[in-house]
Amino acid sequence: MADFARPRGTYDIKPSETPAWQAVEDLARTLFSHYHFEEMRTPIFEHTEVFERGVGDTSDIVQKEMYTFVTRGEKSVTLRPEGTAGVVRAFVENKLYGGPLPAKLWYLGPMFRYEAPQAGRNRQFHQYGVEVIGSSDPRVDAEVIELGARFLLEAGVADARLELNSVGCPVCRAAHRAALIAHLAPIRGSLCADCQGRFEKNPLRILDCKKDRDRPEVKSSPRITEYLCADCQTQYSAVKHNLDVLGVSYVEDSTLVRGLDYYTQTTFEFVDDRIGAKSTLLAGGRYNGLVEQLGGPDMPGIGFAGGVERLLLARAVQEEEEGAAKIDAYIVTFGSDLTIFDASLRVLSLLRKAGVTADLDYAGRGVKAQMKTADRLGARVAVLLGDEEVANGAVTLRDLMTKEQNQVSEDACVEAVLALLSR
């Protein structure tokens, strides 16, 4: 039977949705040119070698996510899974290294990866991105990262967390690789099939493996940041200093190794925990060996790319949260004992009578989920009720701003909540 449905992992952008897409495209055009970037458009498919050599043959992308086919001329071509390798290929092929440097290029367009589809993870998706080729100045790293932060902010996403790391250069990587292999050797046989393959070739990627990264032996692995050579250490410190100068806040994460093989030194991701499993909105890093690997001169580069779909998703979640009516207090129950439920109803009613906007969970969700709801609803106080509180005829009040908590008797609860709200 004919199947006329769209392929899994793809979607139609309907007329009601195109204005939001056009706004992101307009922002890319104006903001990137404001930072003196020029647009580069490359083909949607390239010779497969571009990605095999560029993205790297130990990456998930090359190993299992590429749409590759053989043309009538019997050449293997691949729908681009990302933008960097194609832009660098074009930079080399068009000899842009002979022009003014660094070259500052931006792009926007569809990319293709054969991944398991879910919210924010598609098989055809769209990336906006920038690449700066021809400078290793750590001010460029900071400029690129600040541009990423600014893009997200201007697109309407507040609160994305910037995670930062340095993965060093081939010199420090060799020392780290030896230490990592020695550390992980005892559990080699029990690593997932992918990590067994990576063990010799690129053990750093094991730290990033969805299946193995939470194992205690992997978590306690030697960190690349402890092995950085003097040059990479100086570069990393300068990048952090420049970010401080620009007022961009970040958290260091020595496990951030990224899933593509071309990275050297600076790596970074902007993460938004609100949009579920795939939470990275925008990511990138330095790739000082890539231009040479694709046949060009020995020239450094750095860039980032962000997914348009994830950006729109994050903004939708945020708008929903902002639009939700705020409350003062949220009652969180531990357990489903009737006495706890009775106490929660009594306290809820007392608070409401005193003019406090309050609510509680009727869906029987776990404590963590209830606390999350309290946060999402903007509650200042969580009123915690469990066996201990009920036995004491008391409630525990948690100030969600200062995170302080203390127990007060049920009778004194309203007064204590009012005092907290007036602080």
Q: Which is nearer to ligand HAM, 51 or 330 (CB)?
A: 51
State which of residues 309, 328, 359, 389 lies at the interface with ligand HAM (CB under 6 A).
309
Task: Choose between 107 and 330: whose C-beta lies nearer to ligand HAM.
Answer: 107
Q: Which is nearer to ligand HAM, 102 or 306 (CB)?
A: 306
The alpha-helical segments, DSSP class H, found in 247-307 are: 290-293
3-state SS class at 130: strand
Site for ligand HAM contains 236 (CB under 6 A): no
Query: For ligand HAM, which stretch binds (CB under 6 A), given 20-28, 70-78, 116-124, 373-381?
Result: 116-124
3-state secondary structure of 265: strand
Characterise 265 by phi-psi region: left (phi > 0), alpha (psi -120 to 50), beta (else): left
Query: Tokens 């390798």 label which residue?
Result: 85
Please list the alpha-helical segments (H only) found in 202-337: 216-219, 230-246, 290-293, 308-323
Please check whether residue 264 is in contact with residue 228, taking contact to mean a CB–CB distance below 8 angstroms.
Answer: no
How far apart, in whole angstroms, are the C-alpha atoms of residue 130 and residue 83?
Answer: 9
Contact status: 305 vs ligand HAM (CB under 6 A): yes
Q: Count residues contacting ligand HAM (CB under 6 A)?
A: 26
51, 58, 66, 83: which one binds ligand HAM (CB under 6 A): 83
Examine residue 292 and tell whether it contacts ligand HAM (CB under 6 A): no
Q: Which of 242, 306, 312, 331 binds ligand HAM (CB under 6 A)?
A: 306
The span from the CA of 155 to the CA of 23, in Å, is 8
Closer by beta carbon to ligand HAM, 120 or else 300: 120
The C-alpha atoms of residue 247 and residue 235 are separated, in whole angstroms, by 18
User: Can you say whether residue 382 is alpha, beta or left, with left for phi > 0 and alpha for psi between -120 and 50 degrees?
Assistant: beta
Among 134, 284, 289, 300, binds ligand HAM (CB under 6 A): 284
Per the CB < 8 A criterion, the answer to whether 314 and 157 are in contact is yes
The yes or no reply on residue 143 touching ligand HAM (CB under 6 A) is no
Q: Is 281 in the site for ligand HAM (CB under 6 A)?
A: yes
Q: How far is the CB of 52 from ligand HAM (least distance, A)?
A: 15
Which listed residue (172, 204, 232, 283) binds ligand HAM by CB under 6 A?
A: 283
Residues of the shown chain interacting with ligand HAM in the complex, contacts defined by CB under 6 A: 82-84, 113, 115, 120-122, 125, 127, 129, 131, 260, 280-285, 303-307, 309-310
